[in-house]
């Protein structure tokens, strides 16, 4: 087990090192699928918890795998592998293949590593590796849009790193400088400011997870990346934030009434707001990006519930993990579908499968998860009616359906699309099928998922889709146009505010400051040169020379007087 564990992390790194040799670079792209194979094997053959300790690494590195991580690893390895296969086809004619492959491998390493980390520092390290190598994937197309998106991505990522740093420092310090992950939640719970640390961690990882307000980069970055990169960005990497939350936050240790409610609110906001904003998008991939925000909202909501009430942890945490798996598979399949248009009729099946999973149609993983979520709400003890929450969740489901319709529509009207390579088609097919079949296969891997083939509340499950279709029809029939909301929504006003404040401050402070400094320097310089150019010293010197005898006499007299003083 330990061998394959190390191999999981080492394989992408070793392959990345190959990029140093220019002869091997051209073949690098073709190795990508193999890079995540050890991870896949590890995820599939997992039988019991394993842990290895590398004492020389950082301040003692712990790597391992357990039940929770296994689900994340499974999602990650499947999606990375299939997207890599897709990438070979997608980038077959690109001259900069190896650069893409390099970024891909490093990002992959970060992603797998963070899943397998059992201590805070290696988690943080792999997280940073993933974030910054991911930048290369985002800006790979090197267009103005990509650079702009990349810039926002970086700014937000760095802010997130900063917030995380404080949070992690506080958490690790609370645990007595021991960065072992398993100790952190209880240490945070017992520290003097658990809520403060939790907030920092929430926001720090929230940037990656697309928490509302912190999501600004997401609708920009996910669409501009090459398709396979978008798939992993939206399918897997976004979950790193979620995993961070689950590992660091004191879930099940302590209940934060207010913080929990706020998080639930954020989740709902993301789930519904993301859908609303997404429907107003005109590009297929942007719609998907907003859909990711919306789906992450669901997970945030569940996490908020656990924060609010620690007793829910045992039920909801496995559910969140499964939700992540479900969303990852479906979303990446949808992303892989994005270079299609109305002419490719037979391939629509591959869009339908993941979409239906996402919408939670009966017999899919989505249905299962949503039903279980609603059931678990009954265990909630709150002062407000649970029906409200339930209703809002239905609203979010309608939003998801609308987004899928919108995505379908955007695809249909897409203009030129490149021809799909067989490898692309194969990986796309596999992923699509997996997105519906995964939950059927999971029990064979020893993961219990509950009853999948259940028609309980079948009509209820179909209701959001019907409602969404109704809304869609109304819009079509009345020829209503959707408002255009630029991707990145809040970013535009925020940018204006920030830029103007900056210019104002700069003019106010920097300009004045420079003026003062320049004036001071000038004054000093003139004073010094004045002193230097002054002829007075030479005049004095000459006078002393001419009148040296008198000076001597005066001085002698002075000495004689002085020696008589104070005797």
Residue 487 to residue 445: CA distance in whole angstroms: 40
We find the least distance from the C-beta atom of residue 23 to another protein, in angstroms, to be: 12
- CA dist 277 and 297 (Å) reads 13
Applying CB under 8 A, the span of 77-85, 142-150, 253-261, 450-458 interacting with another protein comes to 142-150
165 binds another protein (CB under 8 A): yes
User: SS3 letters for 136-193?
Assistant: HHHCCCCCHHHHHHHHHHHHHHHHHHHHHHHHHHHHHHHCCCCCEHHHHHHHHHHCCC
How many residues of this chain bind another protein (CB under 8 A)? 54
27, 49, 162, 375: which one binds another protein (CB under 8 A): 162
Which residues ranging from 499 to 528 are in contact with another protein (CB under 8 A)? 510
Using CB under 8 A as the binding rule, whether residue 349 contacts another protein is answered as: no
Of 2, 246, 226, 60, the C-alpha closest to 234 is 226
Strands 61-65, 50-54: pairing is: antiparallel
Q: Can you tell me which of 59, 501, 507, 526 binds another protein, judged by CB under 8 A?
A: 59
Stretch that binds another protein, among 1-9, 161-169, 256-264, 297-305 (CB under 8 A): 161-169
What is residue 53's three-state secondary structure? strand
Q: Does 58 bind another protein (CB under 8 A)?
A: yes
**DSSP, residue by residue, 227-280:** HHHHHHIIIIIHHHHHHHHHHHS-TTT---HHHHHHHHHHHHIIIIIHHHHHHT
Q: Which is nearer to another protein, 169 or 473 (CB)?
A: 169
> CA–CA separation, 330 vs 407, rounded Å?
13
Q: Which of 33, 89, 136, 212 binds another protein (CB under 8 A)?
A: 136
Query: Can you read off the two tokens belonging to residue 367?
Result: 């249905």
Phi, psi of 42 (to 5 degrees): -60, -45
139 binds another protein (CB under 8 A): yes
Nearest CB to another protein, comparing residues 98 and 290: 98
Out of 62, 87, 170, 220, which residue is the one contacting another protein (CB under 8 A)?
Answer: 170
> C-alpha angle with apex 56: 50 to 62, nearest 5 degrees?
25
- Of the ranges 274-282, 301-309, 333-341, 540-548, which one interacts with another protein (CB under 8 A)? 540-548
x/- letters, 103..122, toward another protein (CB under 8 A): ------------------xx
Shortest separation between residue 17's beta carbon and another protein, angstroms = 12
Nearer to another protein (CB atom), residue 54 or residue 440: 54
Question: What gap in Å lies between CA 303 and CA 297, rounded to an integer?
Answer: 10
Among 104, 124, 205, 217, the residue binding another protein under the rule CB under 8 A is 124
- Minimum CB separation from another protein for residue 105, in Å? 15
User: Is 142 an interacting residue with respect to another protein (CB under 8 A)?
Assistant: yes
How many C-beta atoms lie closer than 10 Å to residue 441's C-beta? 11
How far apart CA 323 and CA 305 sit, in angstroms, is: 15
Nearer to another protein among residue 81 and residue 141 (C-beta) = 141
Among residues 9, 172, 259, 324, the one that binds another protein under rule CB under 8 A: 172
DSSP 34: H
C-beta closer to another protein: residue 54 or 490: 54
Measured from the CB atom, is 74 or 163 closer to another protein? 163
Choose the stretch contacting another protein; rule: CB under 8 A; options: 158-166, 238-246, 258-266, 448-456.
158-166
x-or-dash string of contact with another protein, 543-562, rule CB under 8 A? -xx--xx-xx--xx-xxx-x
197 binds another protein (CB under 8 A): no
Report in angstroms how near the CB of residue 19 gets to another protein at its nearest.
Answer: 10
Residues in Cβ contact with 458 at an 8 Å cutoff, skipping those fewer than 6 apart: 362
154 binds another protein (CB under 8 A): yes
Q: How far is CA 178 from CA 144, 167, 175, 197, in A?
A: 44, 14, 6, 16
Q: Which of residues 36-55 bind another protein (CB under 8 A)?
A: 55
Residue 124: other Cβ atoms inside 10 A? 22
Q: How many other C-beta atoms lie within 10 A of the C-beta of residue 48?
A: 8
**Residue in 419, 459, 478, 566 binding another protein, rule: CB under 8 A:** 566
DSSP string, 347-377: GHHHHHHHHHHHHT-TTSHHHHHHHHHHHHG
**Six-digit token string for 343:** 């002419």
Nearer to another protein, 454 or 542 (CB): 542
Decide: is 3 part of the binding site for another protein (CB under 8 A).
no
Q: Find out whether 130 and 157 touch, Cβ atoms under 8 Å.
A: no
| Helix segments in 414-547, DSSP class H | 422-441, 458-477, 491-505, 512-533, 536-546
- Of 134-142, 246-254, 255-263, 332-340, which part binds another protein (CB under 8 A)? 134-142
Smallest gap from residue 68 Cβ to another protein (A): 22
- CA 394 to the chain's CA centroid: 27
The binding site for another protein (CB under 8 A) comprises 55-60, 121-122, 124-125, 128-129, 132, 136, 139, 142, 147, 150-151, 154, 158-159, 161-163, 165-166, 169-170, 172-173, 177, 510, 532, 537-538, 541, 544-545, 548-549, 551-552, 555-556, 558-560, 562-567
């Amino acid at each position: 087990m330990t061998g394959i564990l190390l191999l999981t992390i080492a394989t992408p790194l070793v392959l990345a090192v190959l990029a140093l040799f220019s002869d091997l670079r051209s073949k690098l792209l073709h190795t990508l699928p193999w890079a995540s194979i050890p991870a896949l094997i590890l995820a599939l053959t997992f039988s019991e918890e394993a842990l290895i300790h590398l004492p020389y690494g950082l301040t003692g590195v712990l790597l391992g795998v357990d039940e929770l991580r296994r689900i994340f690893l499974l999602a990650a390895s499947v999606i990375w592998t299939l997207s890599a296969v897709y990438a070979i086809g997608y980038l077959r004619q690109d001259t900069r293949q190896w650069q893409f492959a390099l970024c891909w491998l490093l990002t992959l390493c970060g992603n797998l590593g963070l899943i397998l980390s059992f201590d805070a520092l290696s988690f943080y390290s792999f997280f940073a590796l993933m974030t910054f190598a991911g930048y290369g994937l985002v800006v790979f197309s090197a267009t103005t849009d990509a650079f702009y998106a990349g810039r926002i991505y970086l700014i937000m990522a760095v802010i997130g790193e900063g917030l995380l740093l404080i949070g992690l420092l506080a958490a690790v310090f609370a645990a007595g400088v021991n960065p072992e992950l398993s100790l952190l939640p209880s240490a945070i719970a017992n520290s003097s400011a658990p809520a403060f640390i939790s907030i920092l961690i929430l926001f720090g990882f929230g940037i990656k997870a697309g928490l509302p307000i912190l999501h600004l980069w997401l609708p920009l970055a996910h669409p501009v990346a090459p398709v396979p990169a978008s798939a992993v960005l939206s399918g897997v990497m976004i979950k790193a934030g979620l995993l961070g939350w689950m590992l660091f936050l004191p879930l099940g240790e302590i209940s934060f009434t207010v913080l929990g409610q706020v998080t639930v609110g954020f989740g709902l906001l993301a789930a519904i707001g993301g859908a609303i904003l997404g429907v107003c998008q005109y590009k297929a991939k942007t719609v998907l990006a907003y859909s990711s925000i919306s789906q992450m909202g669901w997970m945030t909501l569940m996490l908020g519930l656990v924060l609010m009430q620690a007793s829910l942890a045992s039920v909801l945490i496995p559910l969140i993990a499964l939700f992540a798996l479900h969303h990852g598979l479906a979303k990446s399949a949808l992303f892989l579908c994005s270079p299609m248009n109305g002419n490719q009729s037979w391939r629509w099946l591959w869009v339908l499968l993941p979409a239906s999973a996402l919408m939670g149609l009966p017999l899919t993983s989505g249905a299962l998860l949503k039903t279980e979520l609603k059931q678990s709400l009954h265990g909630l003890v709150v002062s407000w009616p649970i029906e409200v929450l339930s209703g809002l969740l239905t609203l979010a489901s309608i939003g998801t359906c609308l987004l899928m319709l919108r995505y379908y529509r955007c695809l249909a009207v897409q203009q030129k699309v490149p021809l799909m390579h067989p490898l692309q088609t194969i990986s796309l097919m596999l992923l699509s099928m997996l997105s519906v079949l995964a939950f059927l296969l999971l029990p064979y891997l020893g993961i219990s998922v509950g009853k999948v083939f259940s028609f309980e509340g079948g009509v209820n499950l179909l209701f959001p889709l019907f409602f969404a279709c109704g809304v869609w029809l109304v819009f079509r029939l009345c020829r209503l146009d959707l408002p255009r909301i630029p991707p990145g929504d809040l970013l535009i006003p925020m940018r204006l505010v920030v830029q103007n404040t900056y210019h104002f401050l700069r003019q106010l402070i920097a300009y004045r400051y420079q003026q003062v400094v320049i004036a001071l320097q000038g004054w000093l310089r003139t004073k010094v040169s004045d002193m230097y150019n002054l002829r007075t010293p030479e005049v004095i010197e000459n006078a002393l020379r001419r009148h040296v005898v008198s000076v001597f006499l005066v001085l002698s007299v002075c000495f004689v007087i002085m020696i008589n003083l104070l005797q």
